[in-house]
Structure 1
């Protein structure tokens, strides 16, 4: 089960993947649960991207919210 902070981070990654200042611990948990993945950019940097499982998780939560 994800914490409220982890859910909020997941929503931010979905809506603003380039957002600075995301909590590293929350991102690590989302990566561990494969709800977020790192995307390699052409410039050589990486950014977080929500996975299909992450999208499914958000859909499930919003159905009950």
Structure 2
């Protein structure tokens, strides 16, 4: 089960991946659970993106609303 902060971070990764502080503690948990992945951009910067599992979690939550 994810905490409310972890859910919020997952939603933020989906909505605004370029605006996330890469040092957020919740990202470590999301990485461990393979809900997000870190990609290396051509510019040399790094950015988080949702994995298929992360998208599935958000889709499931949206259906329950």
With the length of structure 1 as denominator, give the TM-score of the two structures. 0.91
Match of 1:21 in 2: 21
Q: CA RMSD in A?
A: 1.4
Output the CA distance in 1 between the equivalents of 2:47 and 2:5. Answer: 19
Output the CA distance in 2 between the equivalents of 1:28 and 1:64. Answer: 26
Question: Counterparts of 1:22-61 in structure 2 under 5 Å?
Answer: 24-61=24-61
Output the CA distance in 2 between the equivalents of 1:40 and 1:23. Answer: 16
With the length of structure 2 as denominator, give the TM-score of the two structures. 0.91
Give the unaligned 5+ runs of structure 2.
none
Output the CA distance in 2 between the equivalents of 1:12 and 1:56. Answer: 15
How many residues are matched?
A: 65
Give the unaligned 5+ runs of structure 1.
none
